[in-house]
Structure 1
Amino acid sequence: MDEHPPGARGQSADARGPLGCYRHPGRDTGIRCTRCDRPICTECMVSASVGFQCPDCVRQGSGTGHGPAANQPRTLAGGAVAADPRLVTKILLGLNIALFILVKVKGDSLVNDLLLLGRANFYFGGPPEGVAEGQWYRLVTSMFLHQEVWHIAFNMMGLWWLGGPLEAALGRARYLALYLLSGLAGSALTYWLADPTQGSLGASGAIFGLLGATAVLMRRLNYDMRPVFALLALNLVFTFNPWGGIAWQAHVGGLVAGTVIAIAMVHAPRGRRALVQYGTCALVLAVTVVIVVARTAALT
């Protein structure tokens, strides 16, 4: 039996099924404002000392509690509520698209300089290149690099659809940490398991991290899990398709890291929230570094 947070009066959908958010009627939700009882989606809900409140009640000073802390609206994960809940998502979209355009202008030479590569020799007679040669930046730059239109289109659609609600629910700093660590974990697992001469690029590791985090968030809010399970299953089928060409290691690494981080983000006890959340992020980063260092030692 699922356990609701303290003071979760009226947060579950009634017998008539999910309701539409009062600010976004097209978004089904099972959460209600603890003050006015209106249905609110993840983008609109604000964490209060008791349950969640809608933006209108927060602005009107109707929140429970007293003192300055009660007047500081927080997201589900404890982050600050931003005026633009999709700002980080828009910036990440912009970075990916800008680099894609730059690749089209500069050509494959830029791709060779930035993609994820264990250890290989691109140029006859030249020195070997790759992460094993000290080019650790490739673990990060490859996360924003795309060559094909269909590749960046799929990844950016996933970033927009999944990223916006997650950014609103977690807050900017936590959401950015989730995105970057998921992508980095995907790069590290690819570096560890893939052929060192095989190049890899794309934001798929980070996107799979957002997908895992979405599943955790929907479970936390008691939403219907069937749509996200169907989406996850479809993506895993695509990942392990028999035609190859997909860096499945990045998908799996990002999915595992994103799920673990999201569990810490949305289930951390309020009194130790920061310790659990940032401690988990630090642990994921430490495991990622250990994998990279161990693989580098094996290749050199």
Structure 2
Amino acid sequence: MDQAPDSSHQAQGLPGCYRHPDRETGIRCTRCERSICPECMVSASVGFQCPDCVRSGSGTGHAPGASTPRTLAGGTVTADPHLVTKILIGINVMVFVAVRAESSLLNDLVLLGAWPPAPFTPVQGVASGEWYRLVTSMFTHQEIWHIAFNMLSLWWLGGPLEAALGRARYLALYFVSGLAGSTLAYLLASPTTATLGASGAIFGLFGATAVLMRRLNYDMRPIIALLVINLIFTFSWSGISWQAHIGGLVAGVVIGYGMVHAPRERRTLVQYGTCALVLAVLVVLILVRTTQLT
């Protein structure tokens, strides 16, 4: 179907982004007035600009000496807005290859609360001081279907979020959400149950994506439907750590809200303060659980 002219877009639906025609949007670049989606919009002093106008040094572009263009959440605009997502996928793949090559490595990376169980003194696990497992388990996968599904989700959700938040904020969201998933698994799951996978961090991206779409008044039905499907799988399939999924999801919603709703005048303080607050709660929960197991 041919694209309808702007004068009749109310009858035909919202226009598509000039870079992603399949994405409907009601937001336009304040300089060239082309339609832009959340992945393409760059925060300006007034409204949003498109990437082409930001990169341009003359004409309709960003004027020299003007304030530095920012992403929707205040991050710095970069040439490759998906770089961190690519690096995270690369790290997960490298760990997967290493585990497949040396299977004994798996036991040193997974999340394990304590082994052997009480009343014996733990000699392995987080409770015995192996805190690194809370992080290394976020990058560890054993089955090909597991890493394939998680990396596909990371690419699909992570790319647009990184573009909207900026690299540093996106990385903070990913790590704190992943740690929240590990923490809830450590707190509620059996201490002898090995937990692994990037699902906690990815559910955090789900939560933040929902918050971002709500902030931009986008149709929430696609992301809600996808989230519901994933939650059904979480609670209906055996062998899935629902604790990690729920922990990551809750952290993602909280941090995502702080990222996209922070007032402009103290945006950085609110955004990183939210991350620090969530992180502090996680540290307390980890210490409480460790006391229970030792």
User: Do the two structures share a fold, i.e. TM-score over 0.5?
Assistant: yes
Corresponding position: 1:99 with 2:95 = yes
Cα distance in 1 for partners of 2:123, 2:51 equals: 55
Counterpart CA distance in 1 for 2:15 and 2:115 is: 55
The number of residues matched between the two structures is: 283
Paired residue for 1:255? 249
Q: Deviations over 1:142-170 (max 9, x none)?
A: 00000001110110000000000000000
From the superposition, tell whether residues 63 and 272 of structure 1 become closer, same or farther in structure 2 (CA, over 3 Å). Answer: farther
Aligned to 1:154: 149
Q: 1:198 aligns with which of 190, 193, 196?
A: 193
Do 1:30 and 1:221's aligned partners in 2 also have CA atoms closer than 8 Å? no
User: CA offset at residue 209 of structure 1?
Assistant: 0.2
- In structure 1, what is the equivalent of residue 113 of structure 2? 118
Q: Which one of 124, 129, 132 corresponds to residue 129 of structure 1?
A: 124
Paired residue for 1:143? Answer: 138
Look up the equivalent residue of 2:202 and give its one-letter code: I
Partner of 2:276, secondary structure, is helix
1:107-139 Cα distance to aligned partner (Å, 9 max, x none) = 1x11111100000149xx996200000000000
Alignment of 1:261-280 (within 5 A): 261-280=255-274
Question: Residue 143 of structure 1: SS of its match in structure 2?
Answer: helix
Structure 1, 155-164 or 15-24: larger mean CA deviation? 15-24
TM-score by length of 2: 0.92
128-137 or 41-50, which deviates more:
41-50
Which runs of no fewer than 5 residues in structure 2 stay unpaired?
1-5
**Is 1:16 paired with 2:15?**
no
Normalized against structure 1, the TM-score is what? 0.90
1:7 is aligned to none
Moved more, 19-28 or 250-259: 19-28
Percent sequence identity is: 71
Residue number among 28, 32, 57 corresponding to 1:32 in the alignment? 28
Q: Which residue of 1 aligns with 2:3?
A: none
d(CA) in 2 for partners of 1:269 and 1:126?
Answer: 50
Return the alpha-carbon distance in structure 1 between the equivalents of residues 11 and 169 of structure 2. 34
1:208 pairs, out of 182, 197, 203, with: 203
Give, in angstroms, the shift of residue 199 of structure 1: 0.6
- Structure 1 unaligned spans of 5+: 1-9
Name the counterpart of 1:6.
none
The match for 1:85 is 81
Give the letter aligned to residue 253 of structure 1. G
Q: 1:15 to 1:136 in 2, by over 3 A?
A: farther
**Structure 2 vs 1, CA of residues 71 and 63 (structure 1 numbering), >3 Å: closer, same or farther?**
farther
For the pair 1:291 / 2:285, whether they are aligned, the reply is yes
Could you tell me how far apart the structure 2 residues matched to 1:267 and 1:231 are? 24
Task: Return the offset for 1:44.
Answer: 1.5
Tell me, yes or no, if the aligned pair for 2:122 and 2:128 is still in contact at 8 Å: no
Equivalent residue number for residue 37 of structure 2: 41
Residue 24 and residue 231 in structure 1: after superposition, are their counterparts in 2 closer, same or farther (change >3 A)? same
Residues 77, 170 of structure 1: 8 Å contact kept: yes
Aligned equivalents of 2:121 and 2:98: distance in 1? Answer: 25
